[in-house]
Amino acid sequence: MLRIGVIDYGVGNLGSVINALRRAGADPVIINNPPELRTVDALILPGVGSFDPAMSMLKPMSNELNSVRGVIPILGICLGLQLMFSGSDEGGLNGLSWYSDRVRRIEGPRIPHIGWDYVKVNNDCELDAVDGYYYFMHSYAVTNPNPKQTLHRRNQVRKYDNTKHTMR
């Protein structure tokens, strides 16, 4: 059974992620201290909230996170993904800077984008994903750091967007 670490940095949807992992048959482990990052098979950086407060809370773990990046798979969910970029239009703090792009506010008449949308997975995507309806609730999007790691693209905003909340 996979031991999946869920990073607890004081913000976000920790309980929901833990419950989803248990339902999927994984062994979730709550990660509270930097040395614990190396005790699991994969990591999840969850998140619901605002960029600057979240980055401030994550800062004590950032050096150890940087050292396991590329060694242990890390999935960022919503704000957790956004923190992997250099910064955000939402705040003034620097992110983890794993990707040089910034998280941008979506432009359009209906922000935040909320609702179920059909997602057709990009043909060249290396991620294990299925076509289907996914629930979205966001006002920010990220540009694509790697096309092979992007599930889909929203043509309306010409941004790559994998900050979805999956509800299946």
Residue spans of the domains in the chain: they are: 1-102, 106-168
Reported as a single tens digit per residue, the pLDDT across 23-51 is: 999 999 999 999 999 999 999 999 888 99
What is the pLDDT, as a whole number, of residue 60? 92
What is the pLDDT, as a whole number, of residue 167? 41
Residues of the chain with pLDDT under 70: 122, 124-129, 143-168
What is the pLDDT, as a whole number, of residue 71? 93
What is the pLDDT, as a whole number, of residue 137? 76
> How far is Cα of residue 35 from the mean position of the Cα atoms in its chain?
21
Q: Which tokens in the block code for residue 32?
A: 């509270």
Positive or negative torsion for Cα 93, 163, 107, 49: negative
Q: Which tokens in the block code for residue 167?
A: 């509800």
What is the pLDDT, as a whole number, of residue 160? 36
What is the pLDDT, as a whole number, of residue 46? 93
What is the pLDDT, as a whole number, of residue 159? 36
What is the pLDDT, as a whole number, of residue 161? 41
What is the pLDDT, as a whole number, of residue 56? 95
Q: Which of 141, 136, 101, 94 is nearest to 119 (CA)?
A: 136
Q: Which CATH class is domain 1-102?
A: alpha beta
